């Protein structure tokens, strides 16, 4: 993407959300994830946990590692709720938990590999793209009325 296009996109976001809100940070979430939550087997809590993990995922190969307690505080739920959600997210194939250890050998927060989300979403995204293409083709092939047609005549 060109720097000029990126700058225009940022300006659009600033116009929409306001400069302080954009400067505080923002996250890209594919629509196919939001639109197919139920088909993926994700609850509302799962989605909020996943979205919050995504906000910590800045680079593809740099897995986020927020503490479950932090996520629980953000969402206003218990750490047990976060743990259950992590299990479901893993079972649904959208994340992989990776144990992390300190140099001293003690455990620390897990890494959460989210790279498989793109593969999981691709079939759903392809469905959306096919629907858009089909709609565009039907619009192109739809017969169009030309002119005003016949005006009713009065019989007096």
Query: Position of tokens 């959208």?
Result: 94
What confidence score (pLDDT) does residue 152 get? 64
Confidence check: pLDDT of 146 > 80: no
Confidence check: pLDDT of 32 > 80: yes
Q: What is the pTM of this model?
A: 0.80
Confidence check: pLDDT of 113 > 80: yes
Write down all domains in the chain, each with its CATH number in brackets: 14-138 (1.10.10.10)
- Relative orientation angle of helices 79-91 and 44-55, to the nearest 10 degrees: 90
Q: Mean pLDDT across the chain, nearest whole number?
A: 90
Confidence of residue 7 (pLDDT cuts 50, 70, 90): confident
13 token code pair: 């976001």
Q: Per residue, what are the HEC states of 25-63? A: CCCCCCHHHHHCCCCCCCCHHHHHHHHHHHHCCCECCEC
Q: Are the CB atoms for 110 and 95 separated by under 8 Å?
A: no
Confidence check: pLDDT of 156 > 70: no
Pick the closest to residue 113 from 44, 35, 56 (CA basis): 56
What confidence score (pLDDT) does residue 147 get? 61
Using a 10 angstrom Cβ sphere, with 0-12 exposed, 13-18 middle and 19 or more buried, the burial of residue 55 is: middle
The distance from CA 25 to its chain's CA centroid, rounded to whole angstroms, is: 15
Angle at CA 149, nearest 5°, toward 147 and 154? 140
- Between the alpha carbon of residue 11 and those of residues 4, 7, 42, the distances in Å are 11, 6, 33
Highest mean pLDDT among 7-16, 56-65, 75-84, 133-142: 75-84
Q: Is 4 helix (H, G, I), strand (E, B) or coil?
A: helix
Pick the closest to residue 47 from 74, 80, 81, 85 (CA basis): 85
Pick the closest to residue 37 from 86, 94, 90 (CA basis): 94
């Amino acid at each position: 993407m060109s720097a000029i296009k990126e700058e225009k996109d940022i300006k659009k976001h600033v116009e929409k959300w306001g400069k302080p809100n954009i400067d505080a940070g923002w996250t890209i979430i594919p629509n196919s994830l939001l639109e197919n939550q139920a088909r993926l087997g994700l609850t509302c809590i799962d989605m909020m946990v996943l979205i919050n993990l995504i906000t910590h995922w800045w680079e593809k190969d740099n897995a986020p590692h927020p503490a479950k307690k932090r996520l629980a505080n953000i969402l206003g739920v218990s750490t047990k709720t976060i743990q259950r959600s992590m299990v479901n997210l893993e079972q649904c194939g959208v994340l992989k938990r990776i144990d992390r250890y300190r140099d001293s050998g003690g455990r620390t927060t897990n890494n959460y590999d989210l790279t498989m989300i793109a593969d999981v979403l691709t079939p759903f995204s392809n469905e959306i793209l096919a629907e858009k293409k089909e709609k565009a083709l039907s619009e192109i092939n739809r017969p169009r009325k030309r002119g005003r047609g016949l005006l009713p005549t009065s019989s007096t």
